[in-house]
Chain A
Amino acid sequence: MYTKVVHMALFKEEQLDHAAESITRLRSLGISDKDISVISGIPFSEKILDRPMNWTNVGRIGVAGAVLGFITALLLNFGTPFLYPLRVADMPIFFPIPTSIVVTFELVMLGLLISTFIGVFVETISPSYGPQGYHPKVSDGHIAILFSGPMDLDQQFHSTFAELGATLEHDVEEEKLWL
């Protein structure tokens, strides 16, 4: 076993091509994709930086919320009249079509949107894999490439990134970002 060290390479915003190139070089040094993570101030798609596709459950959680909203709406529309039937004008009591459609729509949307947010929230605060670390320069537009590699390759990392014009930072895991 050898110890892994987390490095952070900071590229300026206009050095996007170099950043993409550096990922290829890291791979040739034997760093696998799951040991690399890219932090940036604006979103770049995976294809630009040649990175594996991401996935998220936000959509699924949203759909689950929509289903929950739909069930709630059904209960409210078709369930509550059985609890205490009350007639208004000539409207059907137990089969409130079409008025129930409005309530159903609103509650489905409410469920969808709120659970999407809950999905984002839960996924954001749950622990993430890959190398940890942050540098405030990221929000200044720098592209940071975080990677953890064996200690003995340290020299090679430095020379590679110096070649590509990036600055290499150590000890980036210190700062606690949330709570």
Chain B
Amino acid sequence: MAAETKLFGKLKTTEQEHKDPKEQLMFDPRPREELNRMVMEMMTTTTRKFWLWAIGLGAGVVVLLFGAWGYMISTGMWVTGLRRPIYWGVFIVTFVFWIGISHAGTFVSAILRVFKSEFRRPFTRAAELMTTFGLAAGALYPLIHLGRVWVFYFMVPYPNARWLWPNFRSPLVWDLLAITTYLLSSTIYLYLPLVPDLAMARDRTTGIRHSAYKILALGWRGTEAEWFRLKKAIQIFAFAIIPVMFSVHTIVSWDFAVSQVAGWHSTIFGPYFIIGAILSGVSAVVTILYVLRSTLKHMDYFLRPEHFDALGKLILVFSMAWAYFFFNDYLLGWYGGEAAVRQILTAHATGPAAWVWYTMLICNIVIPWLTLWNRKIRRTPWLMFIITLLINVGMYLERYTIIPLTLGHQRTPFDWGIYTPRPIEISIVLGTFCLFTFLYLVMSRLIPLVPVWEVQEGQVAHTLRKVGKAEVPSVTELD
């Protein structure tokens, strides 16, 4: 412990925080007027830095994403680094990455809501927003990677003169349906709890903002019937969106697992991908919460070390679960003894791209296991920022290992190949990162990023109760 304190000498001791329930947001209530004012200020404050970022990222989207994509469409896929036999490269890697990121919103918001985890309250919306924009960025990739994107509608089921319908046995059609379902439902799931907050914003704005919020708030007043309906709908969504979320990443994993490719055809890919997605998603939530906390006004009131602490525990659990699934997949592939699979496993660990494999293991297992057991580290936002960023690097490399590195090393050594992404691909990938950040940045000034009514509801429900000589936090259920 002494070494710990030395290493992180700047950290405050947490002994007192633990005793003082004020450290917890729910026991540090402020009047609703105050909360509203803080959230509104958060939305309306735009600094020079904000505009610079917004313009920079917007330009990034236009040039890096749409410029490069347009160039690729007009010239053909030869500008990518794809070659026989590696027909899927970083586009699919990034696709899986974004779909993975999008799992956090649902996980944090729906699962924690169903299980009534109170620490979720201040950041459910930030996580849901991440889901929606992560999906928006990810859903571009199935289009980007198409050889003939201009006929993408052949995949869409609609009556047509050709009598032809999509092949409902193809995982790519499942992908289309699942991503559409998930994108629509997560957008609605973002919107429903937002309505009361939009009404709050409507009451506090004038001009064009006022008319926009007025339309979006659907005439929300807050009557009993409206609340009842909203709670009912949120309840339906929270329960129904969880299986949708599981199905989405399972189907993404089936893109690989239904194939005959050695190293892909694995029965454990479904849960393995889901756990990986939640690991990278929850990590991305922490990354984003840190950024929000350090850039948005008043966010440090809403986001406290306790939240990083709780999410850190979750990440540690999911890192362990990920390691379990990874080892399962590895061991059984190795034990199965199929020559091609063993060659691939050897190539991953000792081949020319072995650094990818080792970095993945270090980022996904070693770093979280060595750090996140420590309460002090978990409660230090900037350290959590770095750790979670590294976990996402690790998760990106996991997908890179699974896709191009496995494809290049199949059953016939005559057809082995190495894949290196080319500038156009890297530009498009960076472009979607710009897109995600840009959308998030713009949205952070357009909608209340903290669900005020949920925070207030939580603060009303929390009380300190005297049990013997101790004051114990207790939660009353208001519904």
Residues of A within 8 A of B (CB): 13, 37-46, 48-49, 51, 54-56, 58-59, 62, 76-77, 80, 83-84, 86, 88, 91, 96, 99-100, 102-103, 105-107, 109-110, 112-114, 116-117, 119-121, 123-125, 128, 130, 134, 136, 138-141, 177-179
Chain B positions 202 through 213: 1 when the CB is less than 8 Å from some CB of chain A, otherwise 0: 111000000000
B456 within 8 A of A: yes
Provide the residues of chain B in CB contact with A128, threshold 8 Å.
Answer: 223, 225
Q: Would you call A110 and B181 a contact (CB within 8 A)?
A: yes
- Chain B minimum-CB-distance residue to A103: B168
B373 within 8 A of A: no
Interface centre among A37, A56, A59, A124 (most CB of B within 10 A): A124
- 7 more A-B residue pairs beyond the given contacts A91-B169, A120-B230, A139-B204, with a C-beta to C-beta distance below 8 A: A37-B224, A51-B224, A105-B247, A124-B219, A139-B32, A139-B36, A177-B220
Q: Would you call A43 and B169 a contact (CB within 8 A)?
A: no
Q: Would you call A177 and B241 a contact (CB within 8 A)?
A: no
Q: Would you call A42 and B457 a contact (CB within 8 A)?
A: yes
**Cα of A177 to Cα of B36 in the assembled complex, Å:** 19
Known: A38-B224, A40-B222. A109 touches B185 (CB 8 A): yes
Contact of A140 among B33, B168, B232, B233 (CB under 8 A): B33
Contact of A177 among B214, B229, B236 (CB under 8 A): B214
Q: Would you call B221 and A106 a contact (CB within 8 A)?
A: no
Contact of B453 among A42, A130, A134 (CB under 8 A): A42
Contact of B237 among A56, A116, A136, A141 (CB under 8 A): A116
**Cα of A128 to Cα of B90 in the assembled complex, Å:** 53
Provide the residues of chain A in CB contact with B178, threshold 8 Å.
Answer: 106
- Chain B minimum-CB-distance residue to A63: B236
Q: Would you call A103 and B237 a contact (CB within 8 A)?
A: no
A-B contact pairs, 30 of them (CB 8 A): A13-B32, A41-B456, A43-B231, A43-B478, A49-B224, A54-B228, A54-B229, A58-B236, A76-B157, A80-B165, A86-B167, A99-B169, A102-B247, A106-B174, A107-B177, A109-B243, A109-B244, A113-B240, A116-B233, A116-B236, A116-B240, A119-B233, A130-B223, A134-B221, A139-B196, A139-B200, A140-B203, A177-B202, A179-B214, A179-B215
- Chain A minimum-CB-distance residue to B164: A84
Provide the residues of chain A in CB contact with B243, threshold 8 Å.
Answer: 105, 109
Provide the residues of chain B in CB contact with A114, threshold 8 Å.
Answer: 184-185, 188
Q: Would you call A117 and B188 a contact (CB within 8 A)?
A: yes
Contact of A112 among B218, B223, B224, B240 (CB under 8 A): B240
Provide the residues of chain B in CB contact with A58, threshold 8 Å.
Answer: 229, 232-233, 236
Tell me, rounded to whole Å, the shortest Cβ–Cβ distance linking B217 to chain A: 7
Complex A-B, nearest 5 residue pairs according to Cβ-Cβ distance, in ascending order:
A141-B32, A178-B219, A136-B203, A43-B227, A139-B200
Provide the residues of chain A in CB contact with B202, threshold 8 Å.
Answer: 177
Provide the residues of chain A in CB contact with B20, threshold 8 Å.
Answer: none
**Cα of A141 to Cα of B29 in the assembled complex, Å:** 13
Within 8 A of A (CB), among B395-414: none
Q: Would you call B200 and A113 a contact (CB within 8 A)?
A: no
**Cα of A43 to Cα of B138 in the assembled complex, Å:** 35
Q: Would you call A178 and B214 a contact (CB within 8 A)?
A: yes
Q: Would you call A125 and B236 a contact (CB within 8 A)?
A: no
Tell me, rounded to whole Å, the shortest Cβ–Cβ distance linking B131 to chain A: 14
Provide the residues of chain A in CB contact with B203, threshold 8 Å.
Answer: 136, 139-140
B479 within 8 A of A: yes
Classify the interface of chain B: helix, strand, loop or mixed. helix
**Cα of A42 to Cα of B196 in the assembled complex, Å:** 9
- Chain B minimum-CB-distance residue to A144: B222
**Cα of A100 to Cα of B157 in the assembled complex, Å:** 14
Contact of B456 among A42, A48, A178 (CB under 8 A): A42
Provide the residues of chain B in CB contact with A103, threshold 8 Å.
Answer: 168, 173-174, 177
Contact of A38 among B157, B223, B237 (CB under 8 A): B223
Tell me, rounded to whole Å, the shortest Cβ–Cβ distance linking A133 to chain B: 8
Tell me, rounded to whole Å, the shortest Cβ–Cβ distance linking A16 to chain B: 8
- Chain A minimum-CB-distance residue to B233: A120
**Cα of A37 to Cα of B191 in the assembled complex, Å:** 25
Q: Would you call B222 and A39 a contact (CB within 8 A)?
A: yes
Q: Would you call B223 and A77 a contact (CB within 8 A)?
A: no
Within 8 A of A (CB), among B171-189: 173-174, 177-178, 180-181, 184-185, 188
Provide the residues of chain A in CB contact with B241, threshold 8 Å.
Answer: 113
Provide the residues of chain A in CB contact with B174, threshold 8 Å.
Answer: 102-103, 106
- Chain A minimum-CB-distance residue to B254: A102
B9 within 8 A of A: no
Within 8 A of A (CB), among B223-282: 223-233, 236-237, 240-241, 243-244, 247, 251
Provide the residues of chain B in CB contact with A96, threshold 8 Å.
Answer: 168-169
Provide the residues of chain A in CB contact with B336, threshold 8 Å.
Answer: none
Provide the residues of chain A in CB contact with B457, threshold 8 Å.
Answer: 42-43
Within 8 A of A (CB), among B314-360: none
Provide the residues of chain B in CB contact with A116, threshold 8 Å.
Answer: 188, 233, 236-237, 240
B192 within 8 A of A: yes
B43 within 8 A of A: no
Interface centre among A56, A58, A102 (most CB of B within 10 A): A102
Contact of B229 among A46, A109, A120, A136 (CB under 8 A): A120
B111 within 8 A of A: no
